[in-house]
A and B are shown apart, each in its own frame.
Chain A
């Protein structure tokens, strides 16, 4: 063990030396870049639970952003040499940690993108801080990225637990769902979601009549205990709020339909749902379900144009994670172009406080205080099967939640 650590340190030293030797300014037009090129690293789950909602197609989204940037600036671009590298973190914090360090140190990556799974995302925030390189988290939900783990190089781009819970909880309550029954998976994400969600419901004048933590992972795949309990609660809940995600959400919704709770007057609100979840459950199974979306591909012409290009590349419609990866990569490249350098501090300085409108960010702003990227969010409802006019067009947007309301105020836990 000791020997292999020694070898690793030695080889790292050699590589660093080589990097320094070869990295001086050269005679191309890009004197201000440390190594004549820009490398974007996409670190995410490429075979597990999140590989469909993000995964390889997020890599494609970042590649699209690079292609668009090159097309836009042509010869005037700060460099023509922009590459995208990628790695699979398997949703494991330790793997994420190693891969992130490897990207920054050995693959000359200038900025890391995506990184689903909160525990892995937090590790990468630490790495970014240590290496002083930009990191745009897209697909993780935890608010710690703009709280206790916040730092100068980390940006939280697309969504977080507060945005999801607050959007759905507050808006559904003001629209008439007074009594709530909360079911959540018993781990960090579920507990955080339940807390924020219940707080939002109560703030809007509703009440939580019951809350239950379901085992996580729920090996039996069975949720009937909670589904049977729902109609017996006093007062009877108007909505079942579920914080389950991915496969667990699919299990719960299948059984929600089995027990016909909707017919018994108990609606369904979902904490976190991706377009791909609706696709696998079918809109018929979810029709009427309300949730908060960070972006929807068929919302307007601009989104749809992007979605058409994305589909031509990947054969599928983009989730909000895909669009957000595209946007984050674009904004990073724009900042490099604007400052003329890939120096991390200069780029971060350019991004802080910037107001942005693009295909993903509407009324977007990169908050300097905590690097939360705020933007409009959307209260969405799954269409009845009969109203689904084309594949993947599964939801209608009930309401745009203004950027100022969608996210929490900067947290006191964040010390830049």
Chain B
């Protein structure tokens, strides 16, 4: 029983990363109809940024947790204005290619400066112990990640449901043409939303630095699963992406513990295939009209 709870807890921790990344992808896709292939690279930049800040400027984990998401959000907004926006009028393939190419460029820039070898990043001292959760001890840092990620998701949820910005974003996500028809200037919110999504990826990256290998390819490995998560949750569904994120984390963790390795390895994609067969729009997605 204890073992099962521990695996569940770990699944939720992995799920927290998926949820944060999928959430960013979902809001960007919802508002811009852009599949942001560079999301993994922004996650990597978040983690690398934290490393560089610590190694070269002595900036602590806590400051990195604040500065990197903001910095990356600004970078994202700049990018949206400069390129993504302009390509938006063309075939979606252009933005697809742009974000994919950007991923390669960002990876190689980091690689050329810091190499492919993983860079060291220690857990902040305040979070390096373990917490007694009654039935078992659990590393403090993992508890922190879980609490923090849930808090961020809840905050986003609150913003979307209780603020005017949130209403516009939700409306524009679900019925973009109709929202415009009501005379709401959707375009004004596109840039901040893109920046916000990128910022979330950066946040996930900073959180990952103490427990994952920090190297230029760290995002490339993870993003494949995150795309599966987004598809399972339903493209553009904000709630779906978060729910699927935590869900896939659980499924993976249980799979590793209780399923044969060959199944555990492909479980995410088995789930994705099953969901697509039964509900082609994803668990929480809505079929889009042919228009």
A residues within 8 Å of B by Cβ? 47-49, 51-53, 186, 212-217, 219-222, 224-226, 228-229, 232, 247-248, 250-251, 254-255, 258-260, 276-277, 279-282, 284-285
B265–A250 CB distance below 8 A = no
- Excluding A52-B116, A214-B261, 9 further A-B contacts by CB distance (< 8 Å) are A186-B261, A221-B212, A221-B218, A222-B14, A247-B118, A247-B213, A247-B215, A258-B141, A285-B122
| Size bracket, chain B contacts | 35 or more
Task: Determine whether B237 belongs to the interface, using a CB cutoff of 8 Å to chain A.
Answer: no
A250–B118 CB distance below 8 A = yes
B111–A47 CB distance below 8 A = yes
Chain B: CB-nearest residue to A250: B213
Residue from B10, B122, B215, B218 within 8 A of A222 (CB atoms): B10
A280–B224 CB distance below 8 A = no
B118–A285 CB distance below 8 A = no
On chain A, the residues within 8 Å of B141 by CB distance are: 258
What's the nearest-Cβ distance from chain B to residue A53, in Å? 8
List 26 A-B residue pairs with CB atoms under 8 Å apart, sorted by A's residue number. A47-B108, A47-B111, A47-B116, A186-B262, A213-B261, A214-B261, A215-B256, A220-B249, A221-B218, A221-B222, A224-B10, A224-B142, A224-B253, A225-B7, A225-B10, A228-B6, A228-B10, A229-B3, A232-B3, A258-B139, A260-B139, A279-B117, A280-B118, A280-B120, A282-B122, A285-B122
A250–B212 CA distance with the chains assembled, in angstroms: 7
Chain B: CB-nearest residue to A223: B256
3 closest A-B pairs by beta carbon, nearest first, are A250-B213, A213-B261, A215-B265
Main secondary structure of the interface of B (DSSP, over half): helix
A219–B222 CB distance below 8 A = yes
Chain A: CB-nearest residue to B248: A220
On chain A, the residues within 8 Å of B272 by CB distance are: none
What's the nearest-Cβ distance from chain B to residue A285, in Å? 7
B217–A259 CB distance below 8 A = no
On chain A, the residues within 8 Å of B14 by CB distance are: 220-222
B256–A214 CB distance below 8 A = yes
B252–A220 CB distance below 8 A = yes
Chain A: CB-nearest residue to B112: A47
B10–A254 CB distance below 8 A = no
What's the nearest-Cβ distance from chain A to residue B268, in Å? 7
A251–B118 CA distance with the chains assembled, in angstroms: 10
A215–B256 CA distance with the chains assembled, in angstroms: 8
Residue of B117, B119, B139, B215 with most chain A CB atoms under a 10 A cut-off: B117
Task: Determine whether B197 belongs to the interface, using a CB cutoff of 8 Å to chain A.
Answer: no
B224–A219 CB distance below 8 A = yes
User: A220-B252, A281-B118 are known contacts. Are A254 and B213 too (CB-CB below 8 A)?
Assistant: yes
On chain B, the residues within 8 Å of A284 by CB distance are: 122
On chain B, the residues within 8 Å of A213 by CB distance are: 261
B253–A258 CB distance below 8 A = no
Task: Determine whether B195 belongs to the interface, using a CB cutoff of 8 Å to chain A.
Answer: no
Task: Determine whether B211 belongs to the interface, using a CB cutoff of 8 Å to chain A.
Answer: yes
Task: Determine whether B123 belongs to the interface, using a CB cutoff of 8 Å to chain A.
Answer: yes
User: A225-B7, A232-B3, A280-B118 are known contacts. Are A219 and B268 too (CB-CB below 8 A)?
Assistant: yes
- Mark out the residues of chain B between 80 and 131 whose CB falls within 8 Å of any chain A CB in the assembled complex: 108, 111, 115-120, 122-123, 130
On chain B, the residues within 8 Å of A285 by CB distance are: 120, 122
Chain B: CB-nearest residue to A213: B261
